[in-house]
Amino acid sequence: MAILTLPPLVRPRFVLKQVIDGVTENQSLASGQKLDTRKFLLVMASVVTLNLLVIAGINILMTQDAFTLQNLKAQRNLALDKKDAILNQVNQMNSPSNLARVAQDMGMVPANKLGYLDYSVIQEVVIP
Q: Which amino acid is at 93?
A: M
Rounded to an integer, the average pLDDT of 79-88 is: 96
Residue 35 DSSP label: P
pLDDT digits over 27-72, tens only? 554 554 555 788 888 899 999 999 999 999 999 988 888 888 999 9
d(CA 66, CA 73): 11
Top pLDDT among 4 and 42 is at 42
pTM here is 0.42
d(C-alpha 58, C-alpha 52), whole Å: 10
DSSP string, 44-84: HHHHHHHHHHHHHHHHHHHHHHHHHHHHHHHHHHHHHHHHH
* Residue from 109, 90, 107 nearest 98 by CA: 90
Instruction: Let me know: does 98 contact 92? Beta carbons within 8 Å.
Output: yes
Yes or no: say if 90 and 83 are a contact pair by the CB < 8 Å rule: no
Short-list 64, 43, 46, 42, CA closest to 54: 46
Domain assignments of the chain as residue spans, ordered by start: 39-105
- pLDDT at residue number 74: 96
